[in-house]
Every structure is written in structure tokens, then in C-alpha cells.
Amino acid sequence: MLKYIGKRLLQLIPTLFFVSVLIFSLQHLMPGDPATVMAGEEQDPVAIEQIRKQYHLDQPIVVQYVYWVKGVVSGDLGESMRNKEAVLPLILQKLPVTMQLAAMAIVIALTIGISAGVISAVKKNTVWDYAANVFALWGISTPNFWLGIMLIFLFSVQLGWLPTSGYVPLRENWQASLASTIMPAFVLGNAIAAILMRHTRSAMLQVLESDYVRTARAKGLLERRIIIKHALRNALTPVITLGALEFGTLLSGAVLTEQIFTIPGFGKLIVDSVFNRDYAVVQGVVLVTATIFIILNLLADVAYHLVNPRLRATL
């Protein structure tokens, strides 16, 4: 097992290297001289020169990269141009907000996605199955920013049940916190629920055809028990691991959802930074999300090997 994890960790090195090259090269996509663009509208020659020194823009590109990676490895992702704060603490400060939203979205996605998937597989080719498939298509095709706006219109403007925007931290007042995050969490969870539903449906259909389910039926077990204990338990393995890969969808969705509901998470941070020309923060957010995604991918892969007895034997 340790050997396998070690092998996977080694494979991560080239991937992380290219991620770093990709993110580093972003600043060289800027049209013209990066220092002039970063300086904004003031165009003060002293400020431009200072930026050029600070980012080593006067050095060859390879040297610039080495400086940048050195910083990244020691936890220094640069400094925000706007408020002169270090980028990493700024991101870490916003992370819990996005994590709360993501956790709630995952709970919603798992609840809706797995139940809809099970129902549609068990009641294949019935109205329930069609309804679940329509739900999945709807979830995949609805842009989450539109769904968010429509929910605000219905629940905040028309019914007045929930706040239109803003965020209350969980520690301050948990009820107000839930009220401020339930709509965005639903918007975020909805698209993932649709994907999970499709995975669950196909996994369940496969499992329901298997010999051990047939044996369980032949023994005369209750259908509900067969579905939950025998079929779902086995079908869930691929669903959970595939679900972990949807983390990227979750973070992408969080950027827009946080923008719509004015939630100060790190999705909003990247958008605000884009408009403030705070490029170090933009790079930092992309780097942190990519790293989290790579680690989660690795964990999902290891978990998949751990829970699958056939693969466990090969470790």
C-alpha cells in the first residue's frame, strides 16, 4: 500500500511542475510589458521600476520562474498589489467560507443525486426514471448563475424568506449562517447532484444485474433490504470516487455562486482580484485550487483501491 502511495506521489511531481509553469506563464500572457500593466493607470515610472524589481521582471524568464517557485515552495505566493497583504494568508482566510459552502453543497448533492439515481435504476423505464433523467439534464444544462438569480427572485424578493445576499459566519449565529448559505449551497449542489444521479443510476443498474443480488432475491430477502444493503453499498464505491473528481466543478461553481450571493469566499476573491489587477492573488488562487484538486484526486484514487477488494490485492 505504502509503495503504491509512494508511486502515485512520485507521479505528482511532473504534474505539479507543469501546473507551476502554467500558472507562472499566465503573467506573460499579458499584452505588453507586465510591469506597466500591473502598475495600472498611474503609470508612475518609479512604481513600474519597483514592480519590475519586485517580480524580477528585469531578469531572464527562467530566473524569474526559479524565483517564483522558490517563493511558492516556502509558502510565499507574493503580495497583493491592492492591500499589500501576503497572498497565502489572504486565501487561507477566505477558504473556510468556501469550504462551508462546498460542504453544504456536497450534502445536498449526495442526498438528491444518490436517491434520484437509486429510484431511477430500481424503477427503470417508468415515470420515476424519466423524471430523474429530466432532472439530471436540467441540472447539467442550467447555468448556476441564472438558477441563483431566479432563486433570489423567488425566495428573497417575492416570498421574503431568505436574505438576498451576504454571509454570516457559522460561529457568529448558526441559524443566520445557514439562512445566508442555503440558496448558494443548493445552486452549487444542484449541478453535482445531476452528475451523481447519472453515475449512481448506471452503477446501480450494473449491480442489480449481478449474481449476488440474484442470490439475495432467491433467498427471499426483502427488496428494500436488497437494494440498500446489497446493491447500493456496492454501487456507491465508484460513485463516491467519481464524485470526488467533481471537486473542480464545485470550485468553478463557487466562483460564480459567491459572486451572485456576495459571499466573501475565495471564488469572490479571484473575481475581485481580476478587476483590481491583483495578478499575484489570481495566480495564488489558481495554484491553491489546482493543488487541492490534485491531492483530492490522489486521495480518491487511494480510497478506491482500499475499498475495492480486487484492486487491494494488487497493492
Partner 1 sequence: MTDTALDVPLAVEAAVESPTARAWRRLMRRKAAIFGLFVIALFIVVALLAPLIVPYDPIRQSWSAVRRAPSWAHIFGTDDVGRDVFSRVIYGSRASLFAGVISVGIALSVGVPLGLLAGYRGGFIDALLSRITDAMLACPFIILAIALAAFLGPSLGNAMIAIGITTTPIFIRLTRGQVMSVKVEEYIEAARAVGNPRWRIAIVHILPNILPALLVQATLSIAAAIIAEAALSYLGLGQQPPYPSWGSMLNAAQRFLTSAPWMAVWPGLAIFLSVLSFNLVGDGLRDALDPRER
Q: Per-residue string for binding with partner 1, 93-122, x by CB under 8 A? A: ------------------------------
Q: Compute the chain's Rg from CA coordinates.
A: 24
Q: Is 55 in the site for partner 1 (CB under 8 A)?
A: no
Q: Which of 141, 211, 313, 314 forms a contact with partner 1 (CB under 8 A)?
A: 141
Distances (CA, A) of 136 to 9, 41, 193, 199, 222: 35, 47, 8, 11, 29
Longest Cα–Cα distance of the chain, Å, equals 84
Whichever of 116 and 226 has its CB closer to partner 1, that residue is: 116
- Binding of residue 130 to partner 1 (CB under 8 A): no
* Helix, strand, or coil (residue 79): strand
| Residue in 205, 293, 301, 307 binding partner 1, rule: CB under 8 A | 293
**Binding residue for partner 1 (CB under 8 A) from 2, 3, 14, 43?**
14
Q: Where are the beta strands (DSSP E) in 8-88?
A: none
Nearest residue to 269 via CA among 167, 124, 160, 143: 167
84: left (phi over 0), alpha (psi -120 to 50) or beta: left
Which stretch, 45-53, 140-148, 177-185, 300-308, contacts partner 1 (CB under 8 A)? Answer: 140-148
Query: x/- site string to partner 1, residues 164 to 193, per CB under 8 A?
Result: x-----------------------------
161 binds partner 1 (CB under 8 A): no
In angstroms, rounded to a whole number, what is the distance separating the alpha carbons of residues 134 and 3?
44
Q: Which of 146, 144, 150 is nearest to 164 (CA)?
A: 150
Burial of 145 (C-beta count, 10 Å sphere; 0-12/13-18/19+):
middle
Beta carbon nearer to partner 1, 128 or 145: 145
Q: Could you give the C-alpha distances from 285 to 22, 182, 276, 280, in angstroms and in order?
A: 13, 24, 14, 9
CB atoms under 10 Å from CB of 244, counted, come to: 18
Figure out which of the listed residues 10, 62, 157, 218 binds partner 1, where binding follows CB under 8 A: 157
Task: Please pick, from the candidates 9, 228, 274, 299, the single residue that binds partner 1 as defined by CB under 8 A.
Answer: 274
* Interaction of residue 228 with partner 1, rule CB under 8 A: no
Residue 21 binds partner 1 (CB under 8 A): yes
* Residues near partner 1, by CB under 8 A: 14-19, 21-23, 26-27, 29-31, 137-138, 140-143, 145-146, 149-150, 152-153, 157, 164, 248-249, 251-253, 255-256, 259-260, 270-271, 274-275, 279, 282-283, 285-286, 289-290, 293-294, 297
